[in-house]
Chains A and B, each alone.
Chain A
Amino acid sequence: MLKKLDSEAVKELKIKSANVRFKTVELIHNAGAGHTGGDMSAADILIALYSYMNVDPKSKNSCDRDFFIMSKGHSAEIYYNVLAEFGFLDYESLDTLGSFGSEFGGHPTNNIPGVEANTGSLGHGLGIGVGIALGLKRDNKTNQVYVLTGDGELSEGSNWEAAMSAGKYKLDNLTWIIDRNYLQISGKTEDVMPLEPLKMKINSFGFEVYTINGHKYEEIFEVLNVPFFRKPKAVIAETIKGYGIRDGENIASWHHKVPDKKQVAQMEVDMKSLIEEIKNG
């Protein structure tokens, strides 16, 4: 559990991020399918969470663990890679992704070590997280619950049903993080179905809401460390779809575009150079 960051810790996390993002792009290329854009935007949030949360691959079902629900289940490839990076899976096992009989499908299931809920159909994760948080609270337990949703996902009305109940039950053990990359499969979220003023909306459901840069570890850790004010916490993490992919950032069509061989090679070069820059910076 990493709760506070110094400059060395930030460097380590950034290097981890570069490595995991490259491995994810390579994995999607090899599998021939994946949700590349949203994988990249969620990368730093996931790495920060798995560094921060009380989770341990050696006792993954511990009653004392924190709970993470990956509501945006389509970002499975980055999720699998982060689980591997934090010791829940062997990296080699991911090579089966996309092949017949693999336990690694395009959306995660709880057959996979470390995965708490089967997700993929959008708008389910927050409700599940609310149930977990409420169950823990009723037992006077202190475990924390984290839910990551996408932003396009928020058109699903079930999110708002869940948000109402989180507010009603003052779930001060629940943190809802929104991967706010402003894009979804058909284009800009504000064109497809406007979400703004998102902060005000979520606040009106009974959450304390924060907006951060979802690629800055200092900001993610700071918001995770903010105490609860007897109500649930929501974090609008502003991110870049396709983060780190040259010519692939902020482009809706990268939602599930599969990088070709040349793009993977370019990503490798870029990530190596980024890692050098981080080390020297």
Chain B
Amino acid sequence: MGKQKLREVFSNKILEEAKKDSSIFVVCTDSRGSAMIGDFAEKLPKQFVEVGIAEQNAVSLASGLAHVGKKVYVVGPASFYSTRASEQIKVDVAYSNNNVKIIGISGGISYGNLGATHHSLQDIAFMRSVPNLDVIIPSDANQMRSIVDDLLRNEKPTYVRVGRGAVSTIYNQNETFEIGKSRVLRRGSDIAIFVCGQLLERALGVADLLKNKGYDATVIDVFTIKPIDKNTILQYSKMCGVGMTIEEHSIYGGLGGAIAEILIQENPIPLYIAGLPDRELPNGTDVEVFNAVGLTIQELTNKAITMIKHKKE
């Protein structure tokens, strides 16, 4: 199982596509290095716009470019786009229906030791509440490439969040994904595990450990947070009768909130929401922080077993 950085996957893919389509533009905020988009700037300068450290202007300017027919990709840290430029995303992109894709890099806690200023643990909560904005959290390189193909085909305002470090390749090369349709990786009737982003690998680890202990879990990669795949979520939550969500986001308002909103209205079942707690996090790498807050395969498995037993009682 290889590992790849999704920000690098994106930058390679968008460069390849932009060479064939001069209407593809990339807007950057002094983040060429961290976005790994330097090649694009050098090879296609007429399709590249550098606005300096100014996320608000980047998004408004991108909306103007889109208004005259450009397919615009704004690339920079998820933390700053999802908070400082949130109003521009709401008004200039989504409300105004401009074909702008915000590619939030180094999302979640992947900036690690750089601390809370650089973490984006509220982005899903905000973005999914904005009308006319798709929200995508890819989990591996092959999925990322397929999603970029989809983004290039559609004109919908979209927020995509990727992490900083390399993530394990889960899917086969050339496997295709559709925005609005989640992917079921395991099918089991004891518990439904809903997950997004790099924690998919841990969710599969949980399913494996559960299997060793005699339980069968369903694992669903809900990479498309909005539009969300309600049918699949309901189908498997009905089959399992108990659920768990795992995400690199605050426990409030993220994937867990999105799943809970569906279940409480149409199939109320016990649901455990695993994510980052509502408190200051310790400094450390993403893996160290995950381990410190209980997002380990072992602890998540223990929770899952508790939930399964609770259902059987």
Contact = CB atoms under 8 A, between A and B. Distances in A.
Interface of A: 67, 109-110, 116-118, 120-121, 123-124, 126-136, 138-139, 157-158, 161-162, 164-165
A165 B87 contact: no
Contacts of B59: 127
Which 5 A-B pairs have CB atoms at the shortest separation, nearest pair first? Answer: A131-B64, A127-B60, A161-B57, A131-B61, A135-B68
Contacts, number: 95
B68 A110 contact: no
B57 A117 contact: no
A15 to B, nearest CB: 34
Contact of B60 (A136, A162, A164): A162
Interface in B74-132: 87-88, 91-92, 95-97
A121 B62 CA distance: 17
Interface in B40-69: 46-47, 49, 51-52, 54, 56-57, 59-69
27 contacts: A67-B68, A117-B63, A118-B96, A124-B87, A127-B56, A127-B57, A127-B59, A127-B60, A127-B63, A127-B64, A127-B92, A128-B61, A128-B63, A130-B61, A131-B62, A131-B63, A131-B66, A132-B65, A135-B25, A135-B64, A139-B68, A158-B88, A161-B52, A161-B56, A162-B57, A162-B60, A165-B51
Given A110-B96, A132-B67, A136-B68, A162 B91 contact: no
Say whether chain B's binding surface is mostly helix, strand, loop, or mixed. Answer: helix
B56 A132 contact: no
A138 B47 CA distance: 8
A109 B92 CA distance: 11
Given A127-B63, A128-B61, A162-B57, 18 more contacts: A67-B67, A110-B96, A118-B91, A127-B57, A127-B60, A127-B64, A128-B67, A130-B60, A131-B61, A131-B64, A132-B64, A132-B67, A134-B64, A135-B65, A158-B56, A158-B57, A161-B52, A161-B57
A216 to B, nearest CB: 30
A67 B68 CA distance: 10
A161 B46 contact: no
Given A124-B88, A128-B92, A158 B60 contact: yes
B70 interface: yes
A117 B88 contact: no
A157 B61 CA distance: 14
B64 A164 contact: no
Contacts of A134: 49, 61, 64-65
Given A135-B68, A161-B54, A164-B52, A127 B61 contact: yes
A212 to B, nearest CB: 25
Contacts of B54: 161, 164-165
